[in-house]
Structure 1
Amino acid sequence: MSRIAVFFVLVLFSCQGQSTNKAQQKTDTVDAKIIVPKNNTVSCEQVITQLVKSSNAIAFSQFGNTLVQVAVAYLGPEKLTIKLYVINDISENPSEKRLVEHAVGWLEFHQKTGQLLDITNDPDNSLTLRYDKRIAQEHDLSSLCYSKATIVKTGSGYALRDVMLVKDIKFNGKLDRFFTRSDFEKVFGRPDSIQLLKDEAPCVTIFDTEAPDDKYLYKSGSRFETSGDSVAVEDFWFLNGNFISYNGIRIDANTTIEDIQQLFPTAVNERQGMDKAGKLWVIRLREDNEGIVDGHIRMYFKDGKAQSIHWWSPC
């Protein structure tokens, strides 16, 4: 009889244990939001995307969590810079799509502190975001994101998002940086004036030919260098309706420095005053992702609006 009693007691405790375990599992399932499983195939971009998607970033309230896409724009020694963007069709012809990326937000993830900051509106006064911290805890981001990444040295002054690739620029929406003399006249008309390079004596030239008949063409404040029939932009002013199209985004005399901050937030944040009064600002943009080119592109602003861009090279 005593053996039977002991048997029933063991069965009772066993059932209660199973019930407790099931209840605990149910509670864990309900409380969990997003848990990224550990595996060796997940990428840095995938983890960061899920981490950001679990946050309260400003862009999500404006454009929706579904439309906004996430990309790691810069891997630094202490932080990841994250671009939030949407894809728009800018084509005027319904049968031919022209899809371009449009940045709608910028975030920074500081791995040591675990802070996720929204720097979209003001990099100097960032907004600390909430996010599901278990996503970062489930993965070694140092290994995922930095093991094979090229890290920009602290103090270099540039981030990958500060790059303005020449292939993405269209002058007046039609011309690349290099074109022919006939293309120049079709788009800009006849030059206002012409000067021989040897008379201007520049310390560096674009074509680097030192030919005696190389010239500068001047038009509406802009300066173009020629070599034979080839023409290249050196200075381009947003005067008389002239503009550039960058990745489908128009930049002209009405473009504000706040507009440019959406494209190049670090460069705008690190802008330099070019006179004592601080009325003329300049930002510096790299020409390549690898940092091979010594020069850079300078974009000037007057009274808070874009004035011109200039290709600068060291002598």
Structure 2
Amino acid sequence: MCGILVLVTFLLSSCHGRSDKVSKIADTTGTEIRAFEGHGKEVSCERLVSDLIRSSNATAFKHFGDTTVRVRMASMSPDKATIKLYVIQDVSENAAERRPTEQAIGWLEFYRTSGRLMDITNDPDRPEELRYDKNILKGHDIFILCSPVVAAAKPGTDYESRDVMLEKDIRFNGKLKRFFTLAEFEKVYGQPDSVRLLKDEAPCVTIFATEAPEDKYLYKNGSRFESSKDSVAVDEYWFLNGNFITYKGIKIDEGTTIDDIQQLFPAAVRGRLALDKEGELWVVKLKSDATYGHIKLFFKNDKVYFMHWWLPC
């Protein structure tokens, strides 16, 4: 009899613990939207934003699977946060060479005072108000946690300031800064392998922001450069066919491991906590000179693969 009472007590306590860890959201018809797994008291900006959006009934989730849709804070003002939903697609014309690229599939706005989450994807002038699990925000303030002026969280949490990779410290193939002339491009790389007009590629954001019809993408050894008149800038740089960079005099090439990068950017790589995965590639996000956006450093088989300057649309 005593043994039975102990077993019943254990089962009751187990069931109670489970209900505290997982909360589910239902719409007005009782249909479950998504389950949110509870986290501890400390959480990163990226985790909080992702959990918040994934608990919502955003339109993007109707057309793409939960595991396919990615979430990122795009910009922030004191009263409103703009959040981007996107997927990663391979736009390479060569089946043997992947070129993963972000494609925006949704835009949301979260308002600080009202707590309203609005979907502006289809019509910014007539946004749709979304439902989301308000329990996710208990004890957390997105506008404080995700503020660009926040340098670091308390020691021991899973959020730290990302290291900064300044353009002035980078030399492509040991010679060129990020911005250079067309003549310098040809001197170091020769003629491009292919050329595409930006108007045909229709990127959501460009480096030079001129919207000139003759602006081009120059492709060379897998890398992509943006060109406007006589000016050229690195957009994506692939560590293929001998391509490399020097950072503060230290060479980074296709043989550079993630452990080597951790020596340069310890906070971004430490414990792999700051890494995301896009497709089959791991990626470290480094702050750049830009107010918004960052540098993505991709890894394949734990070795550096390519880098990309990401800017919000």
With normalisation by structure 1, the TM-score equals: 0.48
Name the structure with the higher helix share: 1
Name the structure with the higher strand share: 2
With normalisation by structure 2, the TM-score equals: 0.49
